A = this chain, B = another copy of it.
Amino acid sequence: MKNLPLSKVYQLLEPGPVVLLTTARKGRPNVMTMSWHMMMKFEPPLVACIVSGNDYSFAALRATRECVIAIPASRLASKVVKVGNCSGRDTDKFKAFGLTPMPAQDVKAPLIAECFANLECKVTDTRLVNDYNLFILEVTKAWTDPAQKNPRTIHHQGFGKFAVDGKTIALKSKMR
């Protein structure tokens, strides 16, 4: 994994890919599937996300205030759905679905070796957790896998239907 400048993190999340969110509590890592996230600030990168109170990850995220956002390319789509179809309450999802946890640097939550990007995050604002399950995260470290060139991400349209990135278009833009 290669270090990615934090100023480039938005380029990974702004397109709205399905991501995996890892946590670790009492030495036990877990992972969930997540689509409800958005960029909030370029640098330091702030990210908002919704983690439902029904998700087993909710308590770990709230207690440890740490997580990793791991971004899977389309070849991992079936694993991403399997991760979303069960709970860490009764399943070791890393083992069950052949995902490899790797130590992170700033947080105890693991990186996922198979993902093309991994973002280490700390919870920085919990004001809207009680009302909306909305967590605000600061990305403190970002990693990409140089071996995965031009990864295509997946975008959830509901009920397990995903759009995969197709062609890329480049237009003259002042937008960062």
Contacts and interface: CB of A to CB of B under 8 A. Distances in A.
Contacts of A164: 165-169
A6 interface: no
A5 B20 CA distance: 29
24 contacts: A10-B158, A14-B157, A16-B16, A16-B17, A33-B175, A40-B50, A40-B132, A81-B175, A85-B173, A85-B175, A125-B131, A127-B127, A157-B168, A158-B175, A159-B176, A160-B170, A161-B168, A161-B171, A162-B169, A163-B166, A163-B168, A164-B165, A164-B168, A165-B165
A164 B164 CA distance: 9
Interface stretch (A94-102, A115-123, A148-156): A148-156
A11 interface: yes
Interface residues of A, number: 57
Nearest to A38: B38
A51 to B, nearest CB: 11
Nearest to A8: B158
A157 B40 contact: no
Contact of A163 (B84, B165, B174): B165
